[in-house]
Amino acid sequence: MAAAMVQPQRASLFRHGGCWLLLRCLVGAALSLAHVHHYEFVLMETNYTRLCETKSILTVNGEFPGPVIRVHRGDTVFVNVINRGYYGVTLHWHGVKQPRNPWHDGPEYITQCPIAPGTNFTYEVQFTTEEGTLWWHAHSDWTRVTVHGAIVILPPEGTDGGPYPFTKPDAEEVIILASWYKGNLRELLAEALETGSDTPTSDAYTINGQPGDFSACSNVFNLRAQLFTHGSADTTYKVMVEQGKTYLLRIVNAILNPLRGRPQPNHRRLGCLLFEAYHIELHRAESRADHGRPSYSSDGVGIVDYNHSNVTVILEYRGDYTPSGSPPEFPSSTLPTYKENFTALSFRERIRGLATEDHRSNVPREVSTRMFVLVSMGMLICPNSSCRGVYGNRMASSMTNFSWINPTTDILQAYYRNISGVYSTGFPNFPSMYYNFTAEDLPLNVSVPTKGRMVKVLNFNESVEIVF
């Protein structure tokens, strides 16, 4: 794919009148503010030490988390992905609409087959209307556990509103929440799929690649002088701040499986100004260091088999003060518990969009297609109850009772080239039957999903309402 910058065109008075000359000059000036950026992402195995153990993980350019992509609205990015790993991978640009550019969206087996080891693929990513904080990640099984990074999208250059749709902060920080597994996650996942057991549980959460000072081999007071590099001993991620200044936190939730996030009430004027990802706020503690932990879980009250660890980040204030010399105490008395649903829901209700002309939410007034989609965990029957899932069967997730099977030809190519036998277009708009969707046990005829590749085909420019 060749990258080409759109250049202003020189109008000719001989062929066009004065109005055409003015119009073409204005269009050319506007287009010249958009830029084309080039990135090279090399997928490679890299050794990292966390929780006192060293393991090899798949990274982009040796970084965990991966590089931050910084653009303005209207820019185009070309990312050349070179796969030097051991298995096929695709990358997805989460939240980027990519109008009329589906070949570069990235979901594995949907818009493309995996980028095989020893090959490369160049993505064209068009930032048309997006603005704020998004992220990119691998879209192949659970490879995104270590292959991910943030996307920072500023308003268009040259706009009267400046670089932000609010008062410019004094500084900003990208915060990425992620999961860490001691074992080889691909092997753990393959075993779970083979035996039908539950998916693996992480051993720690991380903030910008670090599990925090409450995890093993992560005592920040002993290791604070060391560099935060992937080959060193574990550390706690640290942000230097000054009292009275405003900081923009761009927070991305790349954690696998559990949904995390909730407010911390005690820090002065620390809030979210603009976001498009799950987020947390940070909480003031002793030694003038601030900790954040993802403690709220979206799991049911009776579910306890998940990672209960806490991840921390230090906000260290610049100024004339002497740290206590002892580790900060965990502010457990002021943090919500794992099952405190009211606090999480109350915080969610306070989320509001930017009510400005430049950031208006264009919600469709008329809906052409309505869908009600059930997302559930069922089971596939194993002979003689020989699997490790519920009742000796194989656990299987599904949507409206259909469980997906990867094809050998990606869906987009099959659609474009009219290749038959790759997928079926019978995905329903509504469930075939209604029952208590939140009950502990499902009826037998809906607890066993149908395996296949069912898709929903929509016409261009349809307005679709989907209730999950």
Question: At residue 39, does pLDDT exceed 90?
Answer: yes
Rg of the chain (C-alpha set): 25
**pLDDT score of 66:** 97
- The pLDDT score that the predictor gives to residue 236 is 83
Q: Which of 295, 310, 261, 299 is nearest to 281 (CA)?
A: 261
pLDDT for the residue numbered 291: 35
Contacts of 157 (CB under 8 A, 6+ apart): 33, 35, 72
User: In which residue are the tokens 């679709």 written?
Assistant: 464
Cβ atoms of 91 and 104 closer than 8 Å: no
Looking at the predicted structure, is the pLDDT value of residue 41 above 70? Answer: yes
Q: How far is CA 32 from CA 74, 132, 379, in A?
A: 10, 22, 55
pLDDT for residue 24 is more than 60 = no
Reported in sequence order, the residue ranges of 218-349 that DSSP labels E, i.e. its strands, are: 238-241, 247-253, 283-284, 290-291, 314-317
pLDDT at 385 exceeding the cut of 50: yes
Note the pLDDT of residue 253.
92
Asked if residue 9 has pLDDT above 90, the reply is: no
What dihedral angle (degrees, nearest 10) is formed by the CA atoms of 394, 399, 403, 409?
A: -150
Domains of the chain and CATH, by start: 18-39+61-154 (2.60.40.420), 166-362 (2.60.40), 369-467 (2.60.40.420)
Which region, left, alpha or beta, applies to residue 365 given φ > 0 means left and ψ of -120 to 50 means alpha? alpha
Q: How far apart are CA 240 and CA 221, in angstroms?
A: 15
Kindly state the average pLDDT of the residues 416-438. 92
pLDDT computed for residue 318 by the predictor: 82
Residues shown for the chain: 468
Residue type, 270: L
Mean pLDDT in residue range 169-184: 93
Q: Is the pLDDT of residue 175 over 80?
A: yes
